[in-house]
Amino acid sequence: MTTNLEEFKRRMQAAIDVLAKELSGLRAGRASINLLDPIKVDAYGNFVPISQVGTVSAPEPRLLVVQVWDKSMVKAVEKAIRESSLGVSPSADGQLVRVALPDLNQERRQELAKLAAKYAEDAKISVRNVRREANDLIKKREKDKEISEDDAHRLNNDVQELTDTHIKKIDDMAAVKQKDIMQV
């Protein structure tokens, strides 16, 4: 069962990794190259991350620039950014796509903070689902007489400790991001 605990721990950590990626895509007042990570571009019939069609940089605090490698992809990159949930208007200049980031107003900051909370709640649900699967497996192994009642109790406690640790990490990450977003 210890190998299964490691597997459950790995899966809980995966939920945190996904959360970190989602939170990095939320804008907190200054340009971050990670802001464009969630955007997929229609390139040659496939949807690929923007980082696979160009280089993203942040030359100024309120400006992102995408240096598109293939000139024929400039319009697709521009369209993907415009249609994203970022609420920005990119402009193309040769093989460069410039994305000027406007100042965040209080209402938009609150929306982003709520979105961060939603991402955190989704991650918590994933962690809890892993806990439920682990507990179901422990119950089944106890019922099948593979482990004793004491071992089952100990394993359930171990799983709960894992869950509590990961939920706390999620709460901490969300709190930091929300504070960052609300900071003017």
* Cα 135 to Cα 41: distance, rounded to the nearest angstrom: 41
pTM of the model: 0.68
65, 149, 158 from 171: Cα distances, Å: 32, 33, 20
Q: Read off the pLDDT of residues 19-63 as tens digits, 9 standing for 90 and up.
A: 888 887 776 666 677 777 778 888 888 888 888 888 888 888 778
Q: Read off the pLDDT of residues 145-165 as tens digits, 9 standing for 90 and up.
A: 888 889 999 999 999 999 999
The pLDDT of residue 27 is 64
Domains in the chain: boundaries:
2-23+105-182, 30-100
Q: Read off the pLDDT of residues 63-93 as tens digits, 9 standing for 90 and up.
A: 889 898 888 888 888 888 888 767 778 888 8
Q: What does CATH list as the number for 30-100?
A: 3.30.1360.40
Spell out the CATH class of 2-23+105-182: mainly alpha
